[in-house]
Structure 1
Amino acid sequence: MGIGKLALFLLYAFLCQLVFSSSLPHLCPNDQALALLQFNNTFTINLDASSSGYYPKRVKWNRSTDCCSWDGVKCDETTGQVIELDLSSSQLLGSHISPKFGELSSLTHLDLSYSSFTGIIPAEISRLSKLHVLSIESDSYDLRFVPHNLELLLKNLTQLRELDFEGVNISSTIPLNFSSYLTNLHLRDTHLYGTLPEGVLHLSNLEALDLASNPQLTVRFPTTKWNSSASLMRLYLSGVNATGRIPESFGHLTSLRILVLFSCNLSGSIPKPLWNLTNIEKLDLDDNHLEGPISDFFRFGKISWLSLRNNNFNGQLEFLSFNKSWTQLEMLDFSSNSLTGPIPSNVSGLQNLQSLLLSSNHLNGTIPSWIFSLPLLGELDLSDNHFSGNIQEFKSKTLHRVSLKQNQLEGPIPKSLLNQRDLYILRLSHNNLSGQISSTICDLKTLEVLDLGSNNLEGAIPICLGEMSELWVLDVSNNSLSGTINTNFSIGNHLMVIKFDRNKLEGKVPQSLINCKSLEVLDLGNNELNDTFPKWLRALPNLKILRLRSNKFFGPIKDSSTYKFAQIRIIDLSSNGFSGDLPLRLFEYFEAMKIISESSGTREYVADMNYVYYTNSFIVTTKGLDLELPRVLTTNIIIDLSRNRFEGNIPSIIGDLVGLRTLNLSHNRLEGHIPASLHQLSVLESLDLSSNKISGEIPQQLASLTSLEVLNLSHNHLVGCIPRGKQFDTFENSSYLGNDGLCGLPLSKDCGGDEGVPQATTPYGLDQEEEEGDSSIISWQAVFMGYGCGLVIGLSIIYIMLSTQYPAWFSRMDVQLEHKILTRMKKHKKRH
């Protein structure tokens, strides 16, 4: 047989074998099929999840078919053994990872990620000694290891190439016995602690290392060349403790493509060897303490993502004008640094830029035209700088976030901003913008935040704003808007914040606000609204801040059993024309004010929506000052009903509102006494009852208010001795002015007693006890002589009156005076 015929025969034999082998059934081993079916019967499938990218792969598993044909199962074509099992994103409800998986001894790939597994990862997984890939990521944090099981697993799985336990609660230190073949190690957000063994950073085949979001994990970088330097391409260490400087050893990682080190507590300047990493495509050093000039970053010629937010970098952006190699740059974030000067105007080569974020620096000048000409720009944030000039028309049709707030920009709102299909954030507040708000703004169907406050806008509020179905924040405060609020708030809207304050709005409060069921903040203050109290707002279940101050509201706030306002934290009705008694029923339903928030270490804010780049700044009047708070704590509980025409008594039920920090009822026509129940307001910081007609004494119990910083009881009809001790020893005369009947410190009028003990208010002190001891200078004999003389004189006067026929009323008065004198003499005899 010739060589050619032999080759042809061998090729024929090979093809026959290939056809024959491919026609054979896999014949999945019974024990493996049974193990999978037993596992299959332990849980149910969330069929609704399939519409959101999840696919329940084991829905068609059954005994009548070969397990090698099941979704997510792959078998060896020769032996029929199951070698790969992929149940990722299958939404398996109520299931634990079965120990039966340990019987699939030929497995090389096992992926159980994002399938709602819970409980303990079984130790039997460590029997799968042939595994190359093991992925058990979790987004519910319900999976965990028992102590030492991770160490056992790593000890036995010596063939591993990829290991991913993201979101699994490991809660241990990191063992060192990793497979030498390991190329990908992902242990993000796994509650690791202790110090990372340096050997992990020296794994010779390591290509990707992700240990991010483990704040209790300490990472010390090698100071010399890394063994993995030739292979390491992706390094994610954000949120670990890597305190100190970036070492020069990073310069050896010449294959590095992605370096993410944000929130690692790093400091110092960027080491020069880092500029050798010419293959860097993504660099994220956010939220550290790094410093130095910004200019050298142009050396990363292949970079597409550069983020240095919230550091101490300085200098100017001139390097942008001579860098022509950043054609692939998509994201540039230098926000919250110390950059100065203007943005250069002669910049080119950034045509692929999608995000430009330079907020919170010291940049100035006009915004150059090349920024408005970027064709793919989706995100622009230049807020909190010193830019001036007009906002030009945008070329991009893909804008989704624009924030230019807190600058000195002028002119109208560009029309191109109102024609964006995907815009969801528009923040132009705190500028000098002028003109009217065009109704075409309502065409922004995806808009979630509209913040135009603190400008010079005029005209009417567009009626259609309340019909924007996706809007969460509507802030047009502090402008020159006029007319009535004709906005029609549609049913089903998502509005959480409405701020129309500090304008020139007239008329009534629109009743369509009743449709804003998600509303937390309603500020209509400082306008010219003329209406009665909109008690129907009680139907808003989430309302936390209601501010109607400085308008022309009038009439009584009538008691009603239908008042709710259960979530109210701040209610400010000051400087209006409200009258009648204080609304007792209203106070009864302030449920959120009846709780003192415990200090949990975390601060909670009202309508705080950082996820849509909006924080709810708010003006509150507390401690006698108007303060603009950048965010409002849920513990800022305030009632301000001052400068109205309220009458009657102060209800004692206010004492039940134990969470109150500020209570201001000043400049009304309130009468009666100060309720002693106010001593229950243990966290009260400011109390202002001034300029009313309140009488009686200051309750001694108020001395227990140790948080009280500001007290104003001036210009009332209070009498008696001012309480002493604790906070009351810190208040000055101004707290009590205009109360002629008050005495005691800090006033110059002495009450005549020791240590602020309240004294009787009977004139001349006829019923006061004398001080005891040898220091007394008045003898009781002299006292009795005085009373005796007085009695003789009194009887003489009576005789003269009777003999001269004085009027009967005068006679009765003298008899009463005689009776009082005799009674006091008897009292003194009994005491002494």
Structure 2
Amino acid sequence: MDCVNLVFLMLYTFLCQLAFSSSLPHLCPKDQALALLQFKHMFTTNPVASYLCDSSHPRTLLWNKSTDCCSWDGVHCDKMTRQVIELDLRCSQLQGKFHSNSSLFQLFNLKRLDLSRNNFSGSLISPKFGEFSSLTHLDLSCSNFTGIIPSEISHLSKLHVLCIWSLFGGLYDLSLSLGPYNFELLLQNLTQLRELNLHSVNISSTIPSNFSSHLTTLQLSNTHLHGILPERVFHLSHLEFLDLSSNPQLTVRFPTTKWNSSASLMNLYLFDVNFTGRIPESFSHLTSIHELDMGFTNLAGPIPKPLWNLTNIESLYLSGNLLEGSISQFSKFGNLRELLLGYNNFNGQLEFLSFNRSWTQLEYLDVSYNYLTGPIPSNISGLQNLLWLKLSSNHLNGTIPSWIFSLPSLTELDLSNNTFSGKIHEFKSNTLLEVALNQNQLEGPIPKSLLNQQFLQVLLLSHNNISGHISSAICNLKTLFLLDLKSNNLEGTIPQCLGEMSTVRILDLSNNGLSGTINPTFTIENRFNIIKLNGNKLQGKVPSSLINCEKLEFLDLSNNELNDTFPKWLGDLPHLQILKLRSNKFYGPIRTDNLFAQIQVIDLSSNGFSGDLPVNLFQNFQAMKTNGENSGTPKYVADIYSYYYKNSLIVTTKGLDHELPRVLTTQLIIDLSMNRFEGHIPSIIGDLIGLRTLNLSHNVLEGHIPASFQNLSLLESLDLSSNKISGAIPPQLVSLTSLEVLNLSHNHLVGCIPKGKQFDTFENTSYQGNDGLRGLPPSRDCGRDDRVPQETIPVELAQEEEVDSPMISWQAVLMGYGCGLVIGLSVIYIMLSTQYPTWFSRMFVKLENKITTRMKRHKKRY
């Protein structure tokens, strides 16, 4: 009985103490609160820092020393010890440098730490992260960390989750990397890992086989892995998610026997890996798989039979292969939510969409770039949840059926590059983000419903027969960044409000029938990178408000009726790289001190510009003064949104008009042809050593060809034809080994045509219309190679060249001498009868003696 009382007394005392302790405030340790406050003050808060988040808020904003840090947003403490054990600052809008001596490392008891989706401004990942010995979850993803992930991370042997991935790594620009042996070290020590995500970390190694047997998620996409994937990865019995995409040097071979992970694997992503062999029968055991991505893996032929057994599949990505067969076979998959089959060789018609009534859950359908034919069925009613419909670049025809315009949730519609005809009907929904109906035969006006879309970002209607005016209602599109209406039958004026659209980056209204002046008043808030208004009937002046387009890279106003002097103020635009004003009515001299420092293509041809060539303009072409030949990866001018929009450019080079689908940053062009420029060609052009094309033809230029042109080592096309250029062709031009086209015709050039290298390849047409040039055709001998051509050729030398020529017969020489003697005697008679100066007589006699001596010498040879 005493024992029972004793136990009861002890229990009563414990409960009283517990109740008493629960009534007291349980504060986190002061040193930890201070450490958190110090950490807070190292950063500013900026919503842009967490722009990758669907929603974000500054969790640290209300942290203050007057409250218990365990109650602070994102801070979690142990219920008994009150030590800070979890810190969740994901999407907290933090911005600033993360220092290696951060007070955060004083929180020794942390078990979970999430700093993802902030902006730590290119900070290095501190080795001190490896001192959190109790850590089970570490997420540093998408927070702008850079450099090498320290090997000390491998000390965190209790880790269950490690996420250090970057959203914008790219195949050639991985800002985070692992040291040479760190990957194997990570796998060796982190034996408790359940989730490993190193997307876009530059690992650059083979894959070791010592993965944690507890792994459920392995994401190593875009990590420069190479070699052969160990088969053991497919036998990790708990594996649910495997992503090895975008590692083209990684070879993947599937096991031929049943995989240990077959029952658990639900997501398999092998996009753009080096797949070898056939898909084996073991693939049919992946009965739990919901998502399969084998795009761009060189699969060819009919759909492999084991795939048809994946009856639970919801997302199937097979784009970018060489698969073939009828598209209708995919009606076998009854649970599909996503079907992406673009860039293959599938054929047939889309009737299968109306066969399977159970496809009510289908959200994404992409069968673009195949060989589908016929019209789109008009009797389809089971796709009411469709978000994407992409059927571009097939052989589809007919009218676009009304059910497409009635889809209630459609966000992306791409029917481009087919032969659809008829009108574009009004859309019933207000959910559209992208509409691409370009390169068809559609007609009629732009539907009003398209101009009232609340979220529309991309509108592509080019290369159709669309007519009517551009309504000012288009300015209601507050999220639009790409507007392409080129090559239609649009008419009327350009809405003035277009210049006030603050989100548009690309505006292309070229090749229509637009008239009037360029109305838009471009405000300082605009973000235009590309403006193309060429090929219309626009008149008047270039609007001075274009100076507000500080991000402008490409401006094309060519083939209009603009009547203005040269808009020199355009040179103050800091990023302008391409300027085309050709085929207008511009006039007057070009006098400018404005920079044009980034200009790479300038085309002022077919106007009425006059005066001397603008020396100051050439002096300011800084981008042309560098040789970009060894710049590494090719880059393109104004190459934004290239997936949607091909930024083509028509240039006259090598004597022909060429359309460049994209403009390389090394494609440097000056075209000032067909104007009224006069005076000499400035030698300073020779400083533009990156120049590829120079066209100064059809002007009234005079003087000599500058010898400084020998510095243009990359020059491919030089056209100086139809001017009044005189003198000799500088022999230094022979050094231009990149020169493919040369046109010097119809000038006043004299002397010998240089020989050797590229000059041995040019035809007579390069020189015709220059009566003083010798050496035509180019194979004809024009004297010793070391002789410098002279502008005026003495009679003595001319006769000497004729006599030396082995092609001249003795009879021709004798006839020439006879004629010369008669003419000579006549001249002597006149000279004597008119008392001509005696020095002329001596010179003539001397010349006659030399001719006689040469003739005798020539006779002895034969």
In 1, are the aligned partners of 2:629 and 2:666 still within 8 Å (CA)?
Answer: no
The aligned counterpart of 1:472 is 505
When residues 194 and 360 of structure 1 are mapped into structure 2, their CA distance, relative to the original with a 3 A threshold, is same
**Counterpart code for 1:322:** F
The aligned counterpart of 2:161 is 133
1:697 equivalent in alignment to 2:695: no
Q: Distance in 2 between matches of 1:517 and 1:754?
A: 57
- What secondary structure does 1:727 align onto? helix
The aligned counterpart of 1:351 is 384
Pick the aligned partner of 1:664 from 676, 680, 695. Answer: 695
Pick the aligned partner of 1:753 from 767, 774, 783. Answer: 783
- What secondary structure does 1:297 align onto? helix
**Counterpart code for 2:602:** I
When residues 418 and 35 of structure 1 are mapped into structure 2, their CA distance, relative to the original with a 3 A threshold, is closer
Shift of 1:209: 1.2
The aligned counterpart of 2:270 is 237
The aligned counterpart of 2:765 is 734
Q: TM-score, normalised by structure 1?
A: 0.87
The aligned counterpart of 1:709 is 740
In 1, are the aligned partners of 2:456 and 2:477 still within 8 Å (CA)?
Answer: yes
Q: TM-score, normalised by structure 2?
A: 0.84
RMSD over aligned CA atoms reads 4.1
Pick the aligned partner of 1:651 from 665, 674, 682. Answer: 682
- What secondary structure does 2:633 align onto? coil
Q: Distance in 2 between matches of 1:312 and 1:18?
A: 77
1:490 equivalent in alignment to 2:523: yes
The aligned counterpart of 2:458 is 425
Shift of 1:610: 2.3
The aligned counterpart of 1:818 is 842
In 2, are the aligned partners of 1:290 and 1:313 still within 8 Å (CA)?
Answer: yes
Shift of 1:729: 1.5
Between 1:151-160 and 1:200-209, the stretch displaced more is: 151-160
The aligned counterpart of 1:198 is 231
In 1, are the aligned partners of 2:354 and 2:382 still within 8 Å (CA)?
Answer: no
Shift of 1:366: 1.3
Deviations 1:52-111 (CA, angstroms, capped at 9, x unpaired)? 537566995999978898945554869978573223326566866566655655444344
**Counterpart code for 2:777:** P
When residues 574 and 813 of structure 1 are mapped into structure 2, their CA distance, relative to the original with a 3 A threshold, is farther
- What secondary structure does 1:598 align onto? helix
When residues 100 and 274 of structure 1 are mapped into structure 2, their CA distance, relative to the original with a 3 A threshold, is same
The aligned counterpart of 2:43 is 45
Q: Distance in 2 between matches of 1:630 and 1:796?
A: 70
Q: Distance in 2 between matches of 1:312 and 1:266?
A: 11
Q: Distance in 1 between matches of 2:385 and 2:245?
A: 29
The aligned counterpart of 2:797 is 765
Q: Distance in 1 between matches of 2:808 and 2:367?
A: 81
Q: Distance in 2 between matches of 1:652 and 1:122?
A: 56
The aligned counterpart of 1:88 is 115
Shift of 1:819: 4.2
Shift of 1:347: 1.0
The aligned counterpart of 1:4 is none
In 1, are the aligned partners of 2:337 and 2:362 still within 8 Å (CA)?
Answer: yes
1:367-766 matches, cutoff 5 A: 367-557=400-590, 559-560=591-592, 562-610=593-641, 613-746=644-777, 753=783, 761-763=793-795, 765=797
- What secondary structure does 2:713 align onto? coil
In 1, are the aligned partners of 2:279 and 2:306 still within 8 Å (CA)?
Answer: no
When residues 279 and 792 of structure 1 are mapped into structure 2, their CA distance, relative to the original with a 3 A threshold, is closer
Q: Distance in 1 between matches of 2:437 and 2:574?
A: 33
Shift of 1:131: 3.5
When residues 26 and 565 of structure 1 are mapped into structure 2, their CA distance, relative to the original with a 3 A threshold, is same
The aligned counterpart of 1:176 is 209
Q: Distance in 1 between matches of 2:127 and 2:576?
A: 51
Deviations 1:650-672 (CA, angstroms, capped at 9, x unpaired)? 11111111222211111111111
Shift of 1:645: 1.5
- What secondary structure does 2:248 align onto? coil
When residues 444 and 371 of structure 1 are mapped into structure 2, their CA distance, relative to the original with a 3 A threshold, is same
When residues 407 and 245 of structure 1 are mapped into structure 2, their CA distance, relative to the original with a 3 A threshold, is farther
1:109 equivalent in alignment to 2:137: yes
When residues 640 and 116 of structure 1 are mapped into structure 2, their CA distance, relative to the original with a 3 A threshold, is closer
When residues 245 and 383 of structure 1 are mapped into structure 2, their CA distance, relative to the original with a 3 A threshold, is farther
Shift of 1:316: 2.0
In 2, are the aligned partners of 1:254 and 1:278 still within 8 Å (CA)?
Answer: yes
Q: Distance in 1 between matches of 2:60 and 2:433?
A: 36
The aligned counterpart of 1:186 is 219
Shift of 1:230: 0.5
Q: Distance in 1 between matches of 2:21 and 2:852?
A: 123
Between 1:60-69 and 1:490-499, the stretch displaced more is: 60-69
When residues 444 and 91 of structure 1 are mapped into structure 2, their CA distance, relative to the original with a 3 A threshold, is closer
- What secondary structure does 1:694 align onto? strand
**Counterpart code for 2:162:** L
Shift of 1:208: 0.9
**Counterpart code for 2:459:** L
The aligned counterpart of 1:154 is 187
- What secondary structure does 1:546 align onto? strand
Between 1:508-517 and 1:102-111, the stretch displaced more is: 102-111
**Counterpart code for 2:114:** L
When residues 679 and 88 of structure 1 are mapped into structure 2, their CA distance, relative to the original with a 3 A threshold, is same
Deviations 1:651-699 (CA, angstroms, capped at 9, x unpaired)? 1111111222211111111111222222221111111111111122111
**Counterpart code for 2:651:** V
The aligned counterpart of 2:316 is 283
In 2, are the aligned partners of 1:331 and 1:354 still within 8 Å (CA)?
Answer: yes
**Counterpart code for 2:672:** L
Pick the aligned partner of 1:256 from 284, 289, 300. Answer: 289
In 2, are the aligned partners of 1:342 and 1:366 still within 8 Å (CA)?
Answer: yes
The aligned counterpart of 1:6 is none
The aligned counterpart of 2:399 is 366
When residues 70 and 151 of structure 1 are mapped into structure 2, their CA distance, relative to the original with a 3 A threshold, is farther
Gaps spanning 5+ residues in structure 1: where? Answer: 2-8
When residues 76 and 745 of structure 1 are mapped into structure 2, their CA distance, relative to the original with a 3 A threshold, is farther
Q: Distance in 1 between matches of 2:500 and 2:110?
A: 56
When residues 152 and 228 of structure 1 are mapped into structure 2, their CA distance, relative to the original with a 3 A threshold, is same
In 2, are the aligned partners of 1:187 and 1:212 still within 8 Å (CA)?
Answer: yes
Between 1:118-127 and 1:164-173, the stretch displaced more is: 118-127
In 2, are the aligned partners of 1:27 and 1:68 still within 8 Å (CA)?
Answer: no
Shift of 1:18: 13
Deviations 1:462-484 (CA, angstroms, capped at 9, x unpaired)? 22211112111121111111122
Q: Distance in 2 between matches of 1:190 and 1:26?
A: 49
In 1, are the aligned partners of 2:762 and 2:778 still within 8 Å (CA)?
Answer: no
Shift of 1:793: 6.5
When residues 263 and 674 of structure 1 are mapped into structure 2, their CA distance, relative to the original with a 3 A threshold, is same
Shift of 1:765: 3.4
Deviations 1:629-663 (CA, angstroms, capped at 9, x unpaired)? 22222222111111111111111111111222211
When residues 796 and 648 of structure 1 are mapped into structure 2, their CA distance, relative to the original with a 3 A threshold, is closer
In 2, are the aligned partners of 1:482 and 1:504 still within 8 Å (CA)?
Answer: yes
When residues 635 and 733 of structure 1 are mapped into structure 2, their CA distance, relative to the original with a 3 A threshold, is same
Deviations 1:518-549 (CA, angstroms, capped at 9, x unpaired)? 11121111112222222222222222111111
When residues 238 and 161 of structure 1 are mapped into structure 2, their CA distance, relative to the original with a 3 A threshold, is same
Length, aligned pairs only: 805
Shift of 1:770: 9.7
**Counterpart code for 1:159:** Q
